[in-house]
A and B are shown apart, each in its own frame.
Chain A
């Protein structure tokens, strides 16, 4: 089976840096994605890693270590609007395009 574990909640202050971890178990690996979901909103795509290393997109970066079945999302210069839930996700194997989502991490940014 496939499962992804994340911390349930993280709290940080404006301007700080926060890291949200994700460990996964999959039968076959096709990349790790990150989605952001504001309260009452839809999940929106943030970042994707197919290979080991760091991918940077503005204030957000995502890291992957395939040997450790581990990735993280790094958010820098936190803003109040970053308060949201963050989900890691892996693709189902083969021709399946489904995403298997992690348990989600609720990030609360405080002033």
Chain B
């Protein structure tokens, strides 16, 4: 009954390769996110989709391309992997709030530890 799942959990690859990470949520949420957590545990938003539409695109190299085939899935494709891409990548989901205050609890997947050699 996993709420947010990611595959694979671990990914070890060579520099220059292309790889994908998949994410699925069964919470019925409209919004999904990709975060990157570096070796110092700093957690930073990369992308967000709402109902298959890209709504957040932070300053991320264009080697990173998210894709949302439907609102329950958000994948991340990375081209030409570099050493600095080594990190843990978390997918998350939440309900969508159009405006105003209020809690925006995000539910995180277990993470994908990417190691680029």
Q: Which residues of A contact B45 (CB under 8 A)?
A: 98-100
Q: Which residues of B contact A103 (CB under 8 A)?
A: 42
Nearest opposing residue in chain B for A93, CB measure: B99
The segment from A18-26, A42-50, A70-78 that touches chain B is A42-50
Q: Which residue of the partner chain, among A44, A50, A96, contacts B103 with CB atoms under 8 Å?
A: A50
Are A31 and B101 neighbours in the complex by a CB distance under 8 Å?
yes
Tell me which residues across on chain A come within 8 A of B109, comparing CB atoms.
42
Closest-by-CB residue of A relative to B4 is A42
Bound together, the chains give a CA A94 to CA B107 distance in angstroms of 20
B33 touches A98 (CB 8 A): yes
Whether A42 and B105, one on each chain, are in contact in the complex, defined by CB atoms closer than 8 angstroms, is no
Q: Chain B 65-109 against A: per-residue CB contact (8 Å), 1 yes, 0 no?
A: 000000000000000000000000010001011111111111111
Residues in B with CB closer than 8 Å to A101 are: 42-44
Q: Is the CB of A33 within 8 A of B33?
A: no
Q: Known interface pairs A50-B101, A50-B102, A87-B43. Does A97 touch B108 (Cβ–Cβ under 8 Å)?
A: no
In the bound complex, residues from chain A placing their C-beta under 8 Å from that of B41 are 37, 85, 104, 106
Interface residue total, chain B, C-beta cutoff 8 A: 29
With an 8 Å Cβ cutoff, the count of chain A residues facing the other chain is 26
Of B56, B90, B101, which is within 8 A of A98 by CB? Answer: B56
Once A43-B90, A85-B41 are accepted as A-B contacts, the answer to whether A30 and B101 lie under 8 Å apart by CB is yes
| Residue contact A97 to B31, C-beta cutoff 8 Å | yes
Instruction: Look across to chain A and name the residue whose beta carbon is closest to the beta carbon of B107.
Output: A45
Smallest CB-CB A-B distances: 7 pairs = A42-B108, A101-B43, A98-B45, A45-B105, A48-B103, A104-B41, A43-B108
A-B contacts, 28 of them at CB < 8 A, read: A30-B102, A31-B102, A31-B103, A31-B104, A33-B104, A42-B108, A44-B108, A45-B105, A45-B107, A50-B101, A50-B102, A87-B43, A95-B97, A95-B99, A97-B31, A97-B50, A97-B94, A97-B96, A98-B33, A98-B48, A98-B56, A99-B45, A99-B104, A101-B42, A101-B44, A103-B42, A104-B42, A106-B41
